[in-house]
Amino acid sequence: MTEDIPFDRSFDLKAGVVKEIAPQVRALCAGNSGPFTFEGTVSYIVGRGNVAIIDPGPDDERHIEALLSAVRGETVTHILVTHTHRDHSPAVPAIQAVTGAASYGEGPHRASRPLHIGEINPLDAAGDMDFRPDHVLRDGDLVSGSGWTLEAITTPGHCANHMAYALRETNSLFSGDHVMGWSTSIVAPPDGAMSDYMDSLHKLGKRSETVYFPGHGNVIRDATRFVQSYIRHRQGREESILHRISKGAADIPTLVRAIYIGLDPRLVGAAGLSVLAHLEDMVARGVVSTEGPASIAGTYRLSARRLIAYRLGD
Ligand SMILES: [Zn+2]
C-alpha cells in the first residue's frame, strides 16, 4: 500500500513534561504508548490563569499529578472531553475532585448503532462507561473563558460521542482521535461507524481551521490538506475492497490479507473491524450485498447494481 497520507511519526513531547505548543495552548503527554495510542494521549491546557483542560487522559496517577502540577496556581474552569475511550476521559473525576471544574462533552459512551442479535461490541472494554458530562454540548455550542472561546463540533465516527473543539481566537482545532497526524483513526463497528466518520471528515474539510491539535501525535500544521488526504485514503480503501471483492475475495480475513500488506500483527483485529466498517457502509449504500446485517463473519459480494457498473467498465 502506498503511503497516501503525509504522516508525521516524530513526536515533540516528553511524557510528563508540559510544553507550550501554540499561543493559548499547552500540551502534556500521558506516556500511555501503544499500537493504538502512539506515544500516548495528549492532554491540552487552554488559556492562562483561568484555563480549560481538554481530555484529561487515562486514569493514571502519574499523569494526573503532572496535569495538576502543570496548572498549579491557576484556576481550572472547564474540563472538556473529545470522546469516552479509556485513554481520554477516565481522569476526569480525579481532576474534578481537586479543581472543582465542571465537565463538558457530547454525552455518555454509546455504540454508533443498536447491536445486532448476538453481536458483542469488541471495543466495549475500551469505553469509559462511567463518564457523564455535567454539561452536555451540542453541535455549535460555545464554551468560553478568559481570552479563549471553544466551539463544540460533533464529529461522530471514531466514537459515537466524538466532539472536536475549535479554538476561535487562533483558527485552530482540537481534533481528538478523529484526525491524527501519526496514523489513520480507528473506525470499528458498532463502537464507530464509517458513514458517520466520512460525514465528519467532510464537515471538518469545509471549515477554515488550519492547525489541529490531535489526541495523539504532533500538531498538524497543514490541516486542510491533511483532512483531504484522509478522505482520499478512505475512498481509496473502499475502492480496493470493491476491487478485491470483484476478484472473488468474499470474507473479511481474505480482504485484510490482500489489502494490509506488512501489517503489525497486533493490528490485524483492528484492520478486520476497519474493513467491516467500510462493508457496513457499502451495504447500506447498496454497493455490496451480504446475508442479513454486515458482520465480521459475513460473506460479501458486489450488489447486482455494482456488478453491472463494473461490467460496463465504470
Ligand atoms: Zn485516543
Does residue 1 register a pLDDT over 70? Answer: no
Q: For residue 68, what pLDDT band results from cuts at 50, 70 and 90?
A: very high
Q: How far is the CA of 311 from the centre of ligand 1 (A)?
A: 42
Mean pLDDT of the chain: 94
**Longest CA–CA separation in the chain, Å:** 69
* pLDDT tens sequence across 38-52: 999 999 999 999 999
Does residue 117 register a pLDDT over 90? Answer: no
| Nearest-angstrom CA–CA distance, 245 and 64 | 48
* Per-residue pLDDT, 314: 55
Of all residues in the chain, the percent with pLDDT exceeding 70 is 97
Q: How far is the CA of 314 from the centre of ligand 1 (A)?
A: 38
Place of cell 473491524: 273
Cell of 48: 492562562
* Per-residue pLDDT, 119: 85
Mean pLDDT of 293-305: 93
Cell of 309: 457498473
Does residue 4 register a pLDDT over 90? Answer: no
Q: For residue 3, what pLDDT band results from cuts at 50, 70 and 90?
A: low
Q: For residue 313, what pLDDT band results from cuts at 50, 70 and 90?
A: low
* Radius of gyration of the chain measured on its C-alpha atoms: 20
3-class state of residue 169 by DSSP: helix
Q: How far is the CA of 85 from the centre of ligand 1 (A)?
A: 6
Q: How far is the CA of 188 from the centre of ligand 1 (A)?
A: 13
Mean pLDDT of 137-151: 97
Mean pLDDT of 165-174: 97
* Per-residue pLDDT, 121: 84
Does residue 154 register a pLDDT over 80? Answer: yes
* CA distances (Å), origin 266, targets 176, 191, 217: 23, 19, 19
Q: How far is the CA of 257 from the centre of ligand 1 (A)?
A: 26
Does residue 80 register a pLDDT over 70? Answer: yes
Q: How far is the CA of 301 from the centre of ligand 1 (A)?
A: 33
Q: How far is the CA of 256 from the centre of ligand 1 (A)?
A: 23
For helices 61-70 and 92-99, give the axis angle rounded to 10 degrees. 40
Does residue 310 register a pLDDT over 90? Answer: no
Least confident window among 5-9, 25-29, 74-78, 128-132: 5-9
Q: Where are the alpha helices (DSSP H) in 123-215?
A: 194-205
Beta bridge partners of 148: 145
* Per-residue pLDDT, 2: 45
Q: How far is the CA of 305 from the centre of ligand 1 (A)?
A: 38
Q: For residue 203, what pLDDT band results from cuts at 50, 70 and 90?
A: very high
- Residues with Cβ within 8 Å of residue 237, at least 6 apart in sequence: 259, 274, 278
* Per-residue pLDDT, 149: 98
Q: How far is the CA of 244 from the centre of ligand 1 (A)?
A: 31
Q: How far is the CA of 246 from the centre of ligand 1 (A)?
A: 35
Q: How far is the CA of 286 from the centre of ligand 1 (A)?
A: 32
Of all residues in the chain, the percent with pLDDT exceeding 90 is 87
Q: How far is the CA of 82 from the centre of ligand 1 (A)?
A: 9
